[in-house]
Amino acid sequence: MKSDRITVRGGHSNWTYRLDQPPQGSVAVRLTVGTRTWCANAPARTSGNPPSTAANDTVDRFNGQPRTPPPASCPP
């Protein structure tokens, strides 16, 4: 954690969230530490010309759009 930034990386056998389906579109995260809760909901990152999410949203791979603002409220 850094000021205004939380980076989440995961994978392999210790990561229980599977990217075994075709494009996710977006990935949402809810993190609770003690009494504090943070939420994020990032769409897939766009890249290339013409811009596309195809390279960043595939089976076994999801890269979120950087600097995505937080949602207005955390989902339950």
Residue 19, pLDDT > 90, answer: no
Q: What is the mean pLDDT of residues 24-49?
A: 91
Residue 2, pLDDT > 70, answer: no
Residue 12, pLDDT > 80, answer: no
Question: What does the pLDDT read at residue 1?
Answer: 59
Average pLDDT, the chain: 86
Helix (H, G, I), strand (E, B) or coil at 54: helix
Q: Which amino acid is at 57?
A: D
In angstroms, the CA 63 to CA 46 distance is 9
Please name every residue paired with 29 in a beta bridge, in sequence order, or none if there are none: 40
Question: What does the pLDDT read at residue 34?
Answer: 93
pTM here is 0.74
